[in-house]
Structure 1
Amino acid sequence: MKIINPAVNYWLLENQKGTITAVDPVGGGCIHQALFIRTESGESYFLKQNQAAPADMFLSEEEGLNALRVPGGPVVPKVFLAGKSYLLLEDLQPAGRCKDFWQIYGRQLAEIHLNHHPQFGFKEDNYIGFNPQKNTWMDNGIDFFRENRLRPQIDLAGNRSLLDTEDLKALENLLQKLPQIIPPQPASLIHGDLWSGNLITDHHGRPALIDPAVHYGWAEADLAMTDLFGRYPDEFFRAYEEVNPLESFYRSRFPLYNLYHLLNHLNLFGTGYLSRVRLTLKNLS
């Protein structure tokens, strides 16, 4: 049986769940050990653990999950226990997608995005993958995206020699052009890491969101990542806009927003993502 953090075992016993009777590893995670655990009470839980995680990583994830739990929004797993190296969550027992899944999800995600804030940012910094994500409050969305999203990733990649002089020059030119490309938009509560793996289902097949990088940012930027590794169907976007209409030509701005995620992947996984970064820069120049 996998080694379980003692704090998790203690919580289970203190809450009359009994000892752990089964542990099943979950595939797909590249950062943390992910496990389904079952206890003597017959209840099951989802556990993430990582002894090498930054001290606040799982606590930040707890904050993000709690923030996403809004009326009319998608299912978000309950957090039972969070610590430096572990996060114990509700086991949603994912089932096949329900009828009208994409339409339901489109409207539910729009409900999250309708939660606005007068500033861009979040009450604390958090993480995008294993990299820190800066959430210092700013009044202007352009400044926030430039200084708290793109520039930290550019600096990190430059310091690691993952970008050459021409790349850095092209990126700096792009940073100066942001006000001409991106229209004014409110600061919306967003998931922040909406690749397909972070959209699952609960036991009824309803849409559920996990692994957030929550902050108040542009709704368009949240939607953009749905186009980065695959693509959501048109019925999702139609349903979304029934609740939260988007600015004209919003899809044309997706590559710019996704540059943040491509740079993050470059920093996380190496030069395999460099060609996509350069292609994006070429198309935006």
Structure 2
Amino acid sequence: MIESNLSNVLHRIAEEFEIELSNASTLTGGDINEVFLLEGKAGKFVVKLNDAEQYPGMFEAEKSGLEELRAPGVIDVPSPMKTGQVDSYSYLILEHKPSAPKRPDFWEIFGEQLAHLHKQRAGSFGFETNNYIGSLPQYNDHRDSASRFYLEMRLEPQIRMAEEKGFQLNVSNTFYENCQQMIPDEPPALIHGDLWNGNFLVNSDGRPCLIDPAVAYAPREMDLGMMKLFGGFHEDLFKIYDQTFPLEAGWKDRVDLWQLYYLLVHLNIFGAGYRSKVLSIINKYG
């Protein structure tokens, strides 16, 4: 049952988008957004809501990221249709993606399509706008190398935030120097940016569909690191990926370096339970 105030908000959004609303139901959301399915004569649409004051510009940034992922046409991504605000709620309207069981070759298709996504290039590392990683700001100022982008735009902001929260990480200059040497000198790749196993769907063709991105042109191994952090991806995916777009030698040895960013994010959102793993990786490279 949808609360009356949210029901009113959804009806007003439907009117703005000219949906003749016949039904609204709750979908699985998260800690940040509430997600609903709107049904009307024109079809089904997904609406995401959050606190406009707490997360300014989140949905506009997500819309830009989804559009960037859709543009090459190499992997399925829901079309973002409209952003706006009703009362204290920001909203994002998305194409609804019906689901079906995975095809037998689902993971091979996923690996090949992700490889083709990562082949999309830009002139520098970064993105046209800052966005969010979970509930935290993610900065995308342009940098001219993979190591500078990862250290300055990914690790350093999260390390500063963690230390401001009272987590003593004692990151040395040696750590940064070693990281810089470890990061491959590859060109910027279009990445999803937050590719854990909850951020893809299985579409009506039984193929993968990416959702909830934190897009940037960044080191492509970041996506692979996140995919391996919490599991849920078959090894066939990584095998086909490497055949389609061969990875630099030693990529498996760098997985924890990329995971450090996401673990710092979890430390800053969820607290001390992630500190020991963060320190373990920092000490390994420092």
Same fold (TM over 0.5): yes
Residue type of the alignment partner of 1:144: F
Give 1:159's match in structure 2, choosing from 157, 161, 164. 164
Deviation string, structure 1 residues 186-239 (Cα, Å, up to 9, x no partner) = 111111000110011112221000011101101111111100011522211121
Residue type of the alignment partner of 1:118: G
Given the alignment of the two structures, is residue 252 of structure 1 paired with residue 253 of structure 2, yes or no?
yes
Aligned to 1:207: 208
Q: 1-side partners of 2:27 and 2:110: how far apart?
A: 24
Contact 1:72-1:108 at 8 Å conserved across structures: no
Give ranges in structure 1 of 5+ residues lacking alignment: none
CA RMSD between the two structures: 1.7
Contact 2:33-2:48 at 8 Å conserved across structures: yes
Q: 2-side partners of 1:182 and 1:248: how far apart?
A: 11
Instruction: Give the alignment of 1:73-152 within 5 angstroms.
Output: 73-84=74-85, 85-152=90-157
Residue type of the alignment partner of 1:212: P
Deviation string, structure 1 residues 243-276 (Cα, Å, up to 9, x no partner) = 2111011011010011011001111111121122
Q: 1-side partners of 2:264 and 2:174: how far apart?
A: 16
Q: 1:169 to 1:280 in 2, by over 3 A?
A: closer
Larger displacement relative to structure 2 (202-211 or 56-65): 202-211
User: Structure 2-normalised TM-score?
Assistant: 0.91
Residue type of the alignment partner of 2:282: L
Q: 1-side partners of 2:138 and 2:112: how far apart?
A: 27
Aligned to 2:23: 22
User: Structure 1-normalised TM-score?
Assistant: 0.91
Deviation string, structure 1 residues 87-127 (Cα, Å, up to 9, x no partner) = 11111022211220000011111111001112100111111
Aligned to 1:50: 50
Contact 2:178-2:285 at 8 Å conserved across structures: no
Residue type of the alignment partner of 1:169: V
Residue type of the alignment partner of 2:171: K
Instruction: Give the alignment of 1:177-256 within 5 angstroms.
Output: 177-256=178-257
Shift of 1:28: 4.7
SS in 2 for 1:25: strand
Give ranges in structure 2 of 5+ residues lacking alignment: none
Shift of 1:7: 5.0
Deviation string, structure 1 residues 36-66 (Cα, Å, up to 9, x no partner) = 2222x16211111012442211000000000
Shift of 1:147: 0.8
Count of paired positions: 276
The share of aligned pairs that are identical, in percent, is 37
Q: 2-side partners of 1:194 and 1:87: how far apart?
A: 20
SS in 2 for 1:216: strand
Q: 1:138 to 1:42 in 2, by over 3 A?
A: closer
* Structure 1 consecutive aligned stretches of length 4 or more whose deviation exceeds 4 Å: none
Residue type of the alignment partner of 1:140: S
Contact 1:187-1:216 at 8 Å conserved across structures: yes
Contact 2:171-2:282 at 8 Å conserved across structures: no
